[in-house]
Amino acid sequence: MEIVDIVPPILKNNVAVVTVDKLFKWARGNSIWPLSSGLACCAIEMMSTAAARFDLSRFGYEVFRAGPRQSDLLIVAGTLTWKMAPPLVRLYEEMPEPKYVIAMGSCAIGGGPFADSYSVVKGIDEVLPVDVYIPGCPPRPEALIDGMLKLKEKIMHPERVNEKTGTGNNEEKTEAVTA
Amino acid sequence: MNEFNDNVAPKTETFVLNMGPQHPSTHGVLRVELDLDGEKVIRVRPIMGYLHRGIEKLLESRTYAQGSPFTDRLDYVSSMNNNYGYCHAVEELCGIEPPPRANYIRAIVAELNRITSHMVFIGSLANDLGAVTGMIYTFRDREEVLDIFDLVCGARQTYNYIRIGGVAQDIPQGFEEKVRKFLDRVPEFMEEYADLLNGNEIFNVRLKEVSVMTKEEALACNMTGPNLRATGVPFDVRKVDGYGAYPEFDFDVPVGENGDNWDRYQVRYKEILESAKIVRQALDGMPEGDFMAKVPKVLKPPKGEIFSRTEGTRGELGFYIVSDGTTKPYRVHIRRPSFISMQGLNPMCRGGLIGDAIAAFASIDPLMGEVDC
């Protein structure tokens, strides 16, 4: 007997039976709380995204938290220098699991225009695991929203990530080709 | 017995509180060490360098034209003013005279950008004092100007529109109407901000007669811009030097009286209205002609050095360029007004309460990109 069958007929339209895992993913994907930590120029665009016109709260992501313990998304918005890297890694480590990182702007992706500087980290993936990269200098607010929605998709359907990038699951692919 | 009692007389220990580098009120990545005696601030030490990107060094390995996008990223809230400062310096070094139309366009975009920058100031000041919605209002109106910049050069924040010898391209169709429409809206939303903030009891108590800076102190710290003008010194490079098209415009330099937080806020508030006045005059008197002077493809300034200053949003923005006769500068030093204003943090906060340090910090309006360079 399936669990669905236990639901009384009168409640069939009001009750959804899901796995706990699915429920958690749905909740996480729709209420990401970013840490309000801006490093440089991109932080202003991040603020614009949260402000009236682009209104990030449409998606449930507007609750910018001031402390790492209450947040589950670190948006690295701006240039990361070697002096700032240890505090940023510490912030990341203070965040509770599950946690995600968005690299916003070309500086966070690979150093951007400052890639040949002596003091700049050439991409935050040297120090942190990154989930979503958003290119631009700075990315427009629409791009940040798109990046957040990409992250939502990644949280809700982790299996899709590998399909899209073409990495992993090679066996299935070769099977499909031979068939 | 008396001797013994004297020895145990209450004495408090100083306490060092570390604020930052990640703190919602530091406008970026600044660390401030506060020496506290109870709730009283004894000394404030700003510790900078968390956003030091080595722009001055990078400029040495770039040609003169390649250098101007880096100035966008110095003071990223008013990029146009930074472009202006850099291009002005290189033009003085090479002896290039931008055409009058370019000067007018420059004045328009620079003043519009000053308006947006001061809007960000008002928004973040309100935000730091606990009125989170203040930011929403100013960012809403800021978008109108960003739309205009988007039309002009295709970017919202890092424009690189002002180039050596003029501007990148002529103003597009529909520019004037859009700017005029915005200018008509300026008094409207300024009144809205005033309604929201000026009468607010908390806002008044936390700003008026708090973190006072005297004229002498401000001059000793070499402060410029709105921070100096708030103490009553009417120093504005636009008036003093009269570069570009500014001598042709009629505008006032708003000054404060006491040099407290309130005056710093009011000076910037009034500057928005003055900037709007300049933009309107520039639109009315816009001359016809070229928007770009004749500039060689490969710029080779003569050997020598130059210090050139313009009025940035946060004060006197100076570029010191040493040329060795090649296509790249030998040395570039940038006099960043935010960096110098940070020196005023200690005299402002000393003797005040710890909560007022936040208000003082917000009222200086520093930008970490410019502080650390």
Give the residue from chain A lying closest to B370, CA to CA: A40
Give CA–CA dist B244/B257, Å, rounded.
30
What is the pLDDT at residue B328? 92
Q: Which residues from chain B sit within 8 angstroms of residue A84, using beta carbons?
A: 21, 29, 50-51
Chain A interface with B: residues with Cβ < 8 Å? 36-41, 43-45, 47-48, 51-53, 66, 78-79, 81, 83-84, 87-88, 91, 113-114, 116-120, 137-138, 140
Peptide linkage before A98 cis (omega within 30 of 0): yes
| CATH 3.10.129.10 fits domain A33-158 | no
In this complex, is the C-beta atom of B324 within 8 Å of any C-beta atom belonging to chain A?
no
Nearest CA-CA partner of A76 in A54, A97, A95: A95
Cβ pair B213, B68 in contact under 8 A: no
The predicted structure's pLDDT at residue A3: 76
Phi–psi pair at B332, nearest 5 degrees: -125, 130
What does the pLDDT look like over B306-332, one tens digit per residue?
999 999 899 999 999 999 989 999 999
The predicted pLDDT at position B2 comes to 53
pLDDT string in tens for chain B (373-residue length): 455 555 666 667 888 988 878 777 667 788 889 898 888 888 888 888 888 998 999 999 999 999 999 998 888 888 999 999 999 999 999 999 999 999 999 999 999 999 999 999 999 888 888 888 888 899 999 999 999 999 999 888 889 999 999 999 999 998 999 999 999 999 999 999 998 888 888 888 888 888 888 899 889 989 999 999 999 899 999 989 888 889 999 999 999 888 889 999 999 999 999 999 999 999 999 999 899 988 888 889 999 999 999 998 999 999 999 999 899 999 999 999 999 988 888 888 888 888 888 888 888 888 888 888 8
* Domains in chain B with CATH codes: 63-372 (1.10.645.10)
Per-residue pLDDT, B283:
92
CA B228, B230, B234, B235: dihedral to nearest 10 degrees? 20
- B240 touching A (Cβ < 8 Å): no
Domain ranges of chain A: 33-158
Q: What average pLDDT does the structure give for chain B? A: 89
Is A174 a residue whose pLDDT tops 50? no
CB atoms within 10 A of CB B172: 12
- Whether the CB of B171 is below 8 Å from some CB of chain A: the reply is no
Torsion-angle region of residue B54: left (phi > 0), alpha (psi -120 to 50) or beta? left
From A115's Cα to the closest Cα of chain B, the distance in A is 9
Angle at B34 between CA B30 and CA B37, to 5 degrees: 165
Task: State the CB neighbour count (10 A cutoff) for residue B354.
Answer: 15
| pLDDT band at residue A179 under the 50/70/90 scheme | very low
- Mean pLDDT, range A55-78, rounded to an integer: 87
Confidence band, pLDDT 50/70/90 cuts, at residue A133: very high
The reported pLDDT for the residue numbered B4 is: 55
Give the count of beta carbons closer than 10 Å to the beta carbon of residue B19: 20
**Token pair 């956003």 is at which residue?**
B51
Angle between helices B261-284 and B100-128 (to 10 degrees): 150
Please name the residues in contact with A161: beta carbons below 8 A apart, sequence gap of 6 or more. A154
Element (H, E) at B260: none
Question: Would an 8 Å CB–CB cutoff place B192 in contact with chain A?
Answer: no
CB contact under 8 A, B50 and A81: yes
CB pair distance less than 8 Å for A44 and B61: no
What is chain A's mean pLDDT, rounded? 84
The SS3 call for residue B226 is: helix
Q: Which DSSP state fits A69?
A: G
